[in-house]
């Protein structure tokens, strides 16, 4: 009788599929629960399966290719795009722009975090679900830097207080470094660096301080900067820089 036991060596299947760029590990666990993942024709019902490779694995009936080296792309997202594959309301998504922006042969990529519809600037994209998740986790403490143009009155002293974090409507926001750029008038630019990246964090914090944000631009994510990348364009980050960053993430060092 053939041995029907599942393999017990290697890495968990969700980790391998995430590395192969199928989806994030959490999303893959949901796919397994929905019966969409199979091994040698047997539908899996647990993400605890361990494998040394992806031979015989299918997702939605299609074979999964072996994982490629982790690739990371920087995209200058314009405002007016949804950070999703599709939008129920029919609004354009980042993938509409990426068709022409990504280099040929880029393959399937996933956004690292999100930028709101009206937020522009640096959006990182990767083919590696493990790298994506590691960069998004608050515990990784990867800094994100934004420039916000806001209308209203604010002082540097008020912004300095954000270094201790702030609670708004029962939600606790952690340490934020904020600097008021030189200028005059009611519209002022503020640079903010944070590590949690909670939903609409920059806008909510500034609105709580009595300001109205009329433009928001992300300029950096970890060591990767927007620099002079033109709006709507994408560029691949050097493999050596990606690997250096991955090692730093694994060590848990402050970026």
Domains of the chain: 11-63 (3.10.290.10), 72-139+223-251 (3.30.70.580), 143-221 (3.30.70.1560)
Say if CB 21 and CB 107 are below 8 A apart: yes
pLDDT of residue 35: 94
pLDDT at 1 over 50: no
pTM score above 0.85: no
Alpha helix (H) residue ranges in the chain: 13-19, 25-33, 94-101, 129-136, 156-160, 201-208, 239-251
Is 24 exposed, middle or buried, given 0-12, 13-18 or 19+ CB atoms closer than 10 A?
A: middle
The predicted-structure confidence for 29-83, as pLDDT tens digits, reads as follows: 999 999 999 999 999 999 889 988 888 999 999 998 776 778 999 999 999 999 9
Please indicate whether residue 116 is annotated as part of the active site.
yes
The predicted-structure confidence for 79-125, as pLDDT tens digits, reads as follows: 999 999 888 899 999 999 999 999 888 888 999 999 999 999 999 99
The predicted-structure confidence for 137-173, as pLDDT tens digits, reads as follows: 888 899 999 999 999 999 999 999 999 999 999 999 9
Pick the catalytic residue from 116, 179, 228, 241: 116
- Cα gap 124→6, rounded to integer Å: 36
Arithmetic mean of pLDDT over the chain: 90
SS3 content of the chain, % helix, strand, coil (to 5): 25, 30, 45
pLDDT of residue 8: 60
Q: Cα angle vertex 171, ends 170, 174, to 5°?
A: 135
pLDDT of residue 197: 80
């Amino acid at each position: 009788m053939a041995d029907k036991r599942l393999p017990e060596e290697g890495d968990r299947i969700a980790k391998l599929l995430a590395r192969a760029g199928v989806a994030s590990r959490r999303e893959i666990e949901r796919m397994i629960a929905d019966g969409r993942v199979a091994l040698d024709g047997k539908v899996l019902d647990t993400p605890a399966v361990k494998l040394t490779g992806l031979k015989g694995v299918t997702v939605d009936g299609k074979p999964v290719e072996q994982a490629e080296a982790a690739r990371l792309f920087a995209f200058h997202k314009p405002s007016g795009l949804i950070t999703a594959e599709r939008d129920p309301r029919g609004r354009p998504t980042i993938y509409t722009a990426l068709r022409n922006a990504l280099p040929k042969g880029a393959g399937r990529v996933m956004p690292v975090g999100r930028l709101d519809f009206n937020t522009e600037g640096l959006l990182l994209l990767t083919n590696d679900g493990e790298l994506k998740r590691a960069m998004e986790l608050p515990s990784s403490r990867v800094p994100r830097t934004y420039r916000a143009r806001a209308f209203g009155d604010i002082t540097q002293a008020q912004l300095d207080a954000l270094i201790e974090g702030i609670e708004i409507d029962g939600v606790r926001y952690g340490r934020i470094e904020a600097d008021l750029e030189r200028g005059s008038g009611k519209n002022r630019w503020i640079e903010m660096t944070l590590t949690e990246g909670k939903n609409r964090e920059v806008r909510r914090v500034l609105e709580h301080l009595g300001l109205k944000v009329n433009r928001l631009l992300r300029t950096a994510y970890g060591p990767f900067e927007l620099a002079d990348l033109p709006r709507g364009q994408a560029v691949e980050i050097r493999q050596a820089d990606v690997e250096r960053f991955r090692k730093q993430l694994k060590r848990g060092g402050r970026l």
